[in-house]
Structure 1
Amino acid sequence: MKRLNFSRKKIRTLGFSILGILVLAIVLGFAFRNAILEQIIAKAAVKMQSDYQCELVVKNPHFEGLNHIEIEGISLTPHHADTLVYVGHLRTGFNLWKLLTGTLQITDLEINRGYIQLVKTKNGSNFDAFLRKKEKQNTTTTLDYAELANRLSSRFLNLIPTQMEITGFALKINDKGHKVHLDFTQLALHNEQLKTAIQLTEGEIHQQWQLSGFADPRNRKADLIFKNQKNDTLVLPYLQHKFHLKTAFQSARFHLDNMGMDSGDFHTDGFASIQQLVLNHPKIASKDVEVANARMDFHWIIGERSIALDSSSLLTLGKLKCRPYLFYEKEEGKTYALQLHIPKTKAQDFIDALPKGLFSHFEGMKTMGSFSYSLDFKYNDQKPNEVVFENKLQPEGLKIVLYGAADLSKINTEFVYRAMERGVPQRPILVSIDNPMYTPLSEISPYLQKCVLTSEDPSFMHHRGFITEAFKQSIAKNIRTKKFARGASTISMQLVKNVFLTREKTLSRKLEEILLVYILENQRIATKERMLEVYFNIIEWGPNVYGIGEAAQYYFQKRPSDLTLKECLYLATIVPKPKGFMYRFDSNREQKKFAVQQQDFLAKLMLRRQLITAEDTLGFHQPLHLTGPAQYRIKGNATDSISIDSLGIEFPEF
């Protein structure tokens, strides 16, 4: 018993000793706090000088009490460049007990006057040094995404004070004379309520922004609304100047419910919404894209080696609801996954939810019935040939009552087709037997039909607009090359693009093409034979040569029904690049080796598929000769610049 009392007494003595040392350290720290502060600032100034070639000046830094610091002026100026940061007066407080454990947590902040200034000239910028990548250190340590996200979010939120008052602060951007000013006339956070008043100036644009709502950085919760104080459109600056991207909206809301670690994963829950969004970019669409109301309820999960948008997330556009799933994992290669699920939805709700300007040809469309849709995509860069691409649409009484701008039913009637070249309409082509150059499918050589189908779309007569395997391979190659290096275009897609859409390379055109092809094929608006006949009569076969009737005359002075197998093989191989046909020939009007090899390959492929017989290839070794007006465009001929119309082909006007 005595030994036990002695142990307790010894422990108490040790505890008091530690407490005494801690108190002594605090007292000494308090006594020498200003000297310590100056030493810290001096080290920071040396680092800025050595690592970033910047001069850091801090005027009269001193403590107020134990946990507040006041500074009468701060400036950070790169060598031979404009000042990057300036603060007139700063007063801040910090959590002392957190600091003793190695965590800096700001409790309050006051700033009066100051700016951050980003200046870029033809000789460089005043922030170049901070953009240089540091050399990667050799390390075998595996990065834990969840721990990294938790650490970075904690540091960031600890630097947000719970009480804040900032006045007269500005963000200035000067990009080679293009200036943007964001003046924070007020930025206040008191009792978890955020209020701001921001003045935007960019050229002739003058707006007053307001960011307000609930913010609790310590408990990681927020509910913020961003809008124009006059309830007018809010324009995001600089994007149009720098990236040709016009971005505007009426208001936006961000709501954060939860952020933190749970069972080893980092979770983030909340929602974001935006009203009256307007986007415009040459690669998106030729006109403004408008989204009336969009909302994303998100649940992000970051694991040790993975990042995922959980399938419990919900995307809402008008009355359309969609559950997305995104996944990335770096384990045995990089794995990317995407899943989309649209539950049973009225078709008209889907049409009405499509962003205006992105689906211009669907505006005004009226439908009946409903559908559900699911998409499953997965790709691993170590197993590119095992890409997963599966999609399923289940219609229920789906029917189009009224078409929009793209009236697909016209494909069954006579119509005038005009190709577009760089936005300029070409001469009209009448798709009708009243056009002497029009050729019914029954009068087109079976050889040509087989050659073109084999080279362009072998399964055209059986598929419903798309070839899943081609999509898989296209996606795999595009991801691998990090560009759109390969397409998966079918004859159905080419037909829709040519007849109903333009040739502009925009996201809008591609999305419209996919939807229109699905409707054309799955609503059985036209037979495969009719689609193929129209295709043969409108596609480009050479410079100002449209349709097989014109092509047969232009190259061989024949009717399409009289073309030989060798002539058909030639015509099929020039379909991808018809205007460059002359580069397939040498100055003696003989086909170059690569052109002959292409046609031989296509012929052998057709033989293997039993589309032609060995008898069909008799005399195949004989060289191909152009006998029509096309021969005069071959390099080295004196009449290279003579127009097509002057060479004996008469095109009727419609």
Structure 2
Amino acid sequence: MRTRKQKIILVVKIAVALLVIAVIGVFSFREALLHQIIAKTANKMETDYDSRFLVKEAAFDGISGVHFTDVTLVPNHADTLLNIHKIKTSVNLWRLFVGDIQLGTLEIKNGYIQLTKKGKLKNFEAFLKRNKDEESTNDKKDYAAFAYRIISKILNLIPTDMDIENLTFRLDDNGKKATIDIEKLMLANKELETAIQVKTNTFAQRWKIKGFADPRHKKADIRFFNIDTGAIKVPYFDERYNLISSFDSIRLNVENIDKSGGELHIDGFASIANLKINHKRIAQKDVLIKNARFDYRFLLGSDFIAVDSTSTVQFNKVKFHPYLAYETEEDTIYKLKVTIPEMKAQDFITSLPDGLFTHFEGMEAEGTFNYNLNFEYNKNKPNRLIFDSNLKKENLKITKYGEANLTKLNGEFVYRAIIDGVLQRPVLVGTANTNYTPLDQISPYLQKCVLTTEDPSFFSHRGFINEAFKQSIAKNIRTRKFSRGASTISMQLIKNVFLTREKTLSRKLEEILLVYILENNRIVSKNRMLEVYFNIIEWGPNVYGIGEAAQYYFQKTPAELTFNECLYLARIIPSPKKFMYLFDDEGNLKASAMNQVSFLTNLMIKRGLLTVDDTIFKKQQTVLTGPAKSLLRIKVKDTTAVDSLMVKEEFEF
């Protein structure tokens, strides 16, 4: 009988023999197998993507090498998507036997890949469609497993040795063109070397990518910079989105990609130098970030994707730790946490990006602060939104103001509104102006009405209302647009006196910071803020301040206004130039406007600002008696006796 050792040897011999036979079989039929794979790919391109895939010549080189000649991919009725004259590559045979494709070498000579859009016809549109099998499945996706599988496949397709010459990427979006010509791209001994020409309708540059890349160990450290003098300009976006952007260099480091314990960890850092951005929605000037770095740690689990709180973002001297998460374990939840460790206030001011905070340039401060933000939104329970913003300061004091000198609110100054970029007439905020009205000479009812409609908690908050922010954020997320704001009187005052009405990120950020400084450093009293607010806000066409408004609508002083007149003035603040649309063709308030009057009156009674026994708010018709009346479209019937042969007509004025 055979011993156990002899049996094992026999099994090994049989396995080796079968393997040799399999290898011989593969080598014998590999040419036919290669052409069968090409034919299968061509059929898939035709049936799934309405495209023609052609290979003029395909053959094996040596044991593991294969080369292709004149490879093209042409969508039917559209421009060629891909055309490459020569491709030569080798694969890892052992990986191939277990079903994985891992490239060892890659050589590409002369070719192009182009994306075109002519009218609404895109030559790549068919490839953007989602797989029907993926759409039909309701299985929950394991984010860690899915991401690791995709990353591994991509890295396996990156060869350890690569030589690419004259490969061009072209983009043509209805005449908006960009061409990236890779004259040379070499990866040898894990070192990457490139020479790239970039050309658009507006500029031409030479770029270089250099560094270390090890796809098998999932590591890389590469730098991206301009060969010529000057910054690297980002192509296409300037013409397509009016976004002008540039930078001196970018560095990307991937230190670790590892999956263990059901979680995927991706660690490394990215940095950019002298990032410059210009867009009308961001700021009116170039925004410059001199130095920025992101030390990242991405975490993916079976039911979450997150940027871990150990990550660090730094620009200039500002450093903070972000935590972002998308969770799907039970509900779909979005989380954001930001922590700024204790830092000097002056370092924060000097680190603000140039062009984004122009009103802070030249500002000086003492003391330190730290900041924490906690935001959480449950898509299935939007009313449970969490928004906590907390800033702790230590001996924080503004010692010198920049362009926005908040102390000017305490004295006389000239206010000039800016509407659509046009400077309006000057309005003196002070007693030398006959229309200027001190707070104690403004009807108490008007003060109550305006506070009710604009900012009920004005005298108790510090510039912001957290609950209003929560409701605003929740609605904006639901509607996927900025459909609701959370502006307080303090914010409106800062916007009117120191800023403009431009809808930019810069203006909003400056508004938030200036309001915080104003409200938390006892610069101006609440009564003075309210008094200035009443005397500068727009109340109609070329009507500024309550003194002008009371005369324009009712030929009265602010102290003489009735409750109904106060209700009317408070309600037109959001759209003062459209006041005439509240009235019908007989000069009376429309039913919808009267309903708003009733709602506001009941709300004020509920809040204890009025009493039901106060006869001053009995229903009365609001009648305009001042110059504003001329803008109403009132139809007046002529009741004078006329000859029966004459036609009785209505006329408008």
Task: Provide TM-score, normalisation by structure 2.
Answer: 0.95
Which letter does structure 2 place at the counterpart of 1:476? A
Paired residues of 1:347 and 1:368 also in contact (CA < 8 A)? yes
Report the equivalent of 1:78. Answer: 75
Is 1:613 equivalent to 2:611 in the alignment? yes
Report the equivalent of 1:94. Answer: 91
Report the equivalent of 2:116. Answer: 119
Report the equivalent of 1:333. Answer: 331
Is 1:149 equivalent to 2:147 in the alignment? yes
* CA shift digits 1:43-69 (9 cap, x unpaired): 111111122222111121000112100
Task: Tell me the distance in 2 between the aligned counterparts of 1:381 and 1:54.
Answer: 40
12, 15, 37: which is aligned to 1:15?
Answer: 12
Task: Tell me the distance in 2 between the aligned counterparts of 1:131 and 1:347.
Answer: 48
* CA shift digits 1:163-213 (9 cap, x unpaired): 001011111112222221111111000000001110011124111100100
Task: Tell me the distance in 1 between the aligned counterparts of 2:177 and 2:474.
Answer: 42
Report the equivalent of 1:517. Answer: 515
Report the equivalent of 1:164. Answer: 162
* CA shift digits 1:303-339 (9 cap, x unpaired): 1110111110011111111111111101322101111
Report the equivalent of 2:648. Answer: none
Paired residues of 1:68 and 1:91 also in contact (CA < 8 A)? yes
* CA shift digits 1:64-92 (9 cap, x unpaired): 11210011221111223222111111110
Classify the secondary structure of the residue corresponding to 2:494. Answer: helix
* CA shift digits 1:449-505 (9 cap, x unpaired): 011011111110111101111111111111121111111110000000111111011
Report the equivalent of 1:223. Answer: 221
Task: Tell me the distance in 2 between the aligned counterparts of 1:231 and 1:557.
Answer: 67
Classify the secondary structure of the residue corresponding to 2:614. Answer: helix
Superposition deviation, residue 123 in structure 1: 5.1
Paired residues of 1:565 and 1:617 also in contact (CA < 8 A)? no
Paired residues of 2:564 and 2:620 also in contact (CA < 8 A)? no
Classify the secondary structure of the residue corresponding to 1:526. Answer: coil
Is 1:194 equivalent to 2:192 in the alignment? yes
Classify the secondary structure of the residue corresponding to 1:606. Answer: helix
Superposition deviation, residue 348 in structure 1: 0.8
Which letter does structure 1 place at the counterpart of 2:533? Y
Report the equivalent of 2:301. Answer: 303
Task: Tell me the distance in 2 between the aligned counterparts of 1:92 and 1:70.
Answer: 6
Paired residues of 1:188 and 1:194 also in contact (CA < 8 A)? yes
Classify the secondary structure of the residue corresponding to 1:551. Answer: helix
Q: How does 1:276-315 map to 2 (within 5 A)?
A: 276-315=274-313
Report the equivalent of 1:464. Answer: 462
Q: How does 1:233-272 map to 2 (within 5 A)?
A: 233-272=231-270
* CA shift digits 1:366-409 (9 cap, x unpaired): 11111111111111012212111111111111111111111111
Classify the secondary structure of the residue corresponding to 1:615. Answer: coil
Which ranges of structure 1 fall in alignment gaps of 5 or more residues? 639-654
Paired residues of 2:539 and 2:576 also in contact (CA < 8 A)? yes
Which letter does structure 2 place at the counterpart of 1:57? L
Task: Tell me the distance in 1 between the aligned counterparts of 2:152 and 2:289.
Answer: 34
Report the equivalent of 2:28. Answer: 31
Superposition deviation, residue 98 in structure 1: 0.4
Paired residues of 2:60 and 2:67 also in contact (CA < 8 A)? yes
Report the equivalent of 2:447. Answer: 449
Task: Tell me the distance in 2 between the aligned counterparts of 1:477 and 1:217.
Answer: 45
176, 179, 188: which is aligned to 1:178?
Answer: 176
Task: Tell me the distance in 2 between the aligned counterparts of 1:140 and 1:55.
Answer: 32
Task: Tell me the distance in 2 between the aligned counterparts of 1:6 and 1:67.
Answer: 39
Mark the CA change 1:617 to 1:92 in structure 2 (over 3 Å): closer, same or farther: farther
Is 1:57 equivalent to 2:54 in the alignment? yes
Which letter does structure 1 place at the counterpart of 2:516? Y
Superposition deviation, residue 626 in structure 1: 1.0
Superposition deviation, residue 445 in structure 1: 0.4
Report the equivalent of 1:643. Answer: none
Task: Tell me the distance in 1 between the aligned counterparts of 2:488 and 2:202.
Answer: 48
Task: Tell me the distance in 1 between the aligned counterparts of 2:355 and 2:311.
Answer: 26
Classify the secondary structure of the residue corresponding to 1:207. Answer: strand
Classify the secondary structure of the residue corresponding to 1:389. Answer: strand
Paired residues of 2:176 and 2:240 also in contact (CA < 8 A)? no
Report the equivalent of 1:645. Answer: none
Report the equivalent of 1:648. Answer: none
| Alignment length (residue pairs) | 635
Report the equivalent of 2:502. Answer: 504
Q: Which moved more, 1:130-139 or 1:392-401?
A: 130-139
Task: Tell me the distance in 2 between the aligned counterparts of 1:66 and 1:456.
Answer: 79
Classify the secondary structure of the residue corresponding to 2:99. Answer: coil
Paired residues of 1:565 and 1:616 also in contact (CA < 8 A)? no
Q: Which moved more, 1:478-487 or 1:141-150?
A: 478-487
Give the RMSD, CA atoms, in angstroms.
1.4
Task: Tell me the distance in 2 between the aligned counterparts of 1:500 and 1:22.
Answer: 81
* CA shift digits 1:545-596 (9 cap, x unpaired): 1110011011111000011111111111111111111111100011011111
Paired residues of 1:284 and 1:508 also in contact (CA < 8 A)? yes
Task: Tell me the distance in 1 between the aligned counterparts of 2:294 and 2:330.
Answer: 31
Superposition deviation, residue 416 in structure 1: 1.1
Paired residues of 2:416 and 2:423 also in contact (CA < 8 A)? yes
Is 1:48 equivalent to 2:45 in the alignment? yes
Task: Tell me the distance in 2 between the aligned counterparts of 1:488 and 1:203.
Answer: 42
Classify the secondary structure of the residue corresponding to 2:613. Answer: helix
Classify the secondary structure of the residue corresponding to 1:328. Answer: strand
Paired residues of 2:562 and 2:616 also in contact (CA < 8 A)? no
Classify the secondary structure of the residue corresponding to 1:60. Answer: strand
Report the equivalent of 1:577. Answer: 575
Classify the secondary structure of the residue corresponding to 1:392. Answer: strand
Report the equivalent of 2:639. Answer: none
Task: Provide TM-score, normalisation by structure 1.
Answer: 0.95
Which letter does structure 2 place at the counterpart of 1:471? F
Paired residues of 2:418 and 2:500 also in contact (CA < 8 A)? yes
Classify the secondary structure of the residue corresponding to 1:32. Answer: helix
Task: Tell me the distance in 2 between the aligned counterparts of 1:255 and 1:518.
Answer: 38
410, 427, 430: which is aligned to 2:428?
Answer: 430
Superposition deviation, residue 622 in structure 1: 2.1
Task: Tell me the distance in 1 between the aligned counterparts of 2:410 and 2:314.
Answer: 37
Paired residues of 2:346 and 2:364 also in contact (CA < 8 A)? yes
Superposition deviation, residue 129 in structure 1: 1.7
Paired residues of 2:563 and 2:617 also in contact (CA < 8 A)? no
Task: Tell me the distance in 2 between the aligned counterparts of 1:306 and 1:555.
Answer: 59
Q: How does 1:536-615 map to 2 (within 5 A)?
A: 536-615=534-613
354, 357, 360: which is aligned to 1:356?
Answer: 354
Identity %: 53
Which ranges of structure 2 fall in alignment gaps of 5 or more residues? 637-653
Q: Which moved more, 1:155-164 or 1:54-63?
A: 54-63
* CA shift digits 1:260-295 (9 cap, x unpaired): 202110110000000000011121111111000000
Superposition deviation, residue 17 in structure 1: 2.3
Paired residues of 1:231 and 1:250 also in contact (CA < 8 A)? no
Paired residues of 1:583 and 1:635 also in contact (CA < 8 A)? no
